[in-house]
Amino acid sequence: MEELNKKMAKGAGWMVLFKFSQRGLGLISTVILARLLVPEDFGLVAIAMAIFAALEIMGAFSFDLALIQNQKASRQHYDTAWTFNVFYATFASVALFLLANPAAAFFEEPNLAGIMHFLALATLIQGFENIGIVAFRKELNFRKEFNFLLIQKIVSFLVTISLAFIFKNYWALVAGIITSKLVGLVISYMMHPYRPRFSLAKASELFHFSKWMLINNILIFVNIRGIDFVIGKMAGTQALGIYSVSYEISNLPTSELVFPITRAVFPGYAKMSNNIVTLKKGFLDVFSLVALFTIPVGTGIAILADPLVQVFLGQKWLDSIPLIQALAVVGIFRALQANTGAIYLALGIPKIITYLSIFNVLLIYPAIIWALASSGVLMAAWAIAAIAFLSMPINFIVLSRKLNLNLLQLISLLWRPAVSSLLMAAVVLSALTLWGEASSVLALLAQLISLSAVGAATYFTSLFLLLRICTTHPETSMEIKLFDIIKERLKPSN
């Protein structure tokens, strides 16, 4: 079990490293593209990608998770999963091509049709990707997973930026998407020797687990990407472009920290699933780590949204500042819940995710439609935040029953990062007021860097003091262990 925990920790490290590498490239890409393109370009691609994702999600049986969860999966299981991926990709690409003109008419955006025609090609390419690379995660070989994902991102980044300088419109974004899928196809066969064959021998067995995953994936899409359709139709492509960029920036705690950690720990959870005590401990350790970083990062993004936007996006994106602040709150609530899904999957009860997602959908869409009709996109963002907050205690109550978990254990892991983040926010906002208005981009950058350093110092000092003062056995806490690891790494080598 100790060896398994080490592999999970290394896997989480590789996945977080990938997300930081990806985000570094993504940040550079966003800064450049935001100055070369206009919000309408991002809005057009966001609508096309929402339709693309809608078709993709209809066939998202998550066979990769089924193969990981099944510790005895054979070649026939892998071949069956690949065969279905190919069949569905072919169907989805044809459907996307045929839907292009009706979608362009519905959204009153003629350029949308051409974008969707090219995304149909991307769908077909992705379907033929080598299913053998699932073994990277199943065997906890996340270094290879890291290399596979990063190569895709680097090549896509280079193509997108190069073409943005040439075209200066949305076609640069489309070309980057197609390039990413094509590179993924090629290197999947270069990096893994597995050669899939057409077979449906294990179809019924795979579908027994994956039918719930399909429903869950559809509901997750409706909860997140489906909102793009509503905003695009009710508020227009410019508002959708601003919302999509704001969402990407504000949800850094979820996308850059929690999702890669969850991706890494799920195979370990699957191996622990026959021992609830061990699984509970594994969950609490990961939850503690998630709370430790995502709460202050989300808070920091919210309070520094103004200089962040002015430095990296420019003046034409100022309308995104209040949106980023509202959606950063959403990012925190969703990050704290993200790890629960891996537990439900490891225990073989994905239907719980389905029920929780249905509950969320029933609340979120009436709230968003009302908010857009009455006050606009900003009110819709705060409505999303309110629903994310309401769903969190329900999720944790269900989880506590499955893991024999005391909710006070979760609260004990949350309150110190929360209090330290609030103190950090108070200090940074006070410093921001004293600093005054910066007059140039360089001054804004200096302000952003300085206040980020002040916030980080305040947070970790407060957290460390609270751990030492308010914890009976601080040496056993995940936070103190992390501090000790950092201190050890900072020691000069002899």
pTM score of the predicted model: 0.65
Higher pLDDT, 203 or 392: 392
pLDDT single digits (tens) 434-465: 887 777 888 888 888 999 999 999 999 998 88
The answer, yes or no, to whether residue 205 has pLDDT greater than 90, is: no
Residue 201: phi and psi, rounded to 5, are -60, -35
Query: Per-residue pLDDT averaged across 157-166, rounded?
Result: 82
What pLDDT is attached to residue 488? 52
* Virtual torsion, Cα 41, 46, 48, 52, nearest 10 deg: 150
Highest mean pLDDT among 219-233, 238-252, 361-375: 361-375
What pLDDT is attached to residue 494? 46
Q: What's the chain's average pLDDT? A: 79
**Percent of the chain beyond pLDDT 90?**
13
Residue 137: band (very low, low, confident or very high) from pLDDT cuts 50, 70, 90: low
Judged by DSSP in three states, 168 sits in coil
- Residue 264 CA to residue 342 CA, distance in Å, equals 10
- Residue 283 CA to residue 277 CA, distance in Å, equals 10
What pLDDT is attached to residue 322? 92
Beta strands (DSSP E) in 116-170 are none
What pLDDT is attached to residue 425? 94
- Residue 251 CA to residue 285 CA, distance in Å, equals 22
pLDDT single digits (tens) 311-341: 877 777 888 899 999 999 988 998 888 888 8
**Percent of the chain beyond pLDDT 70?**
80
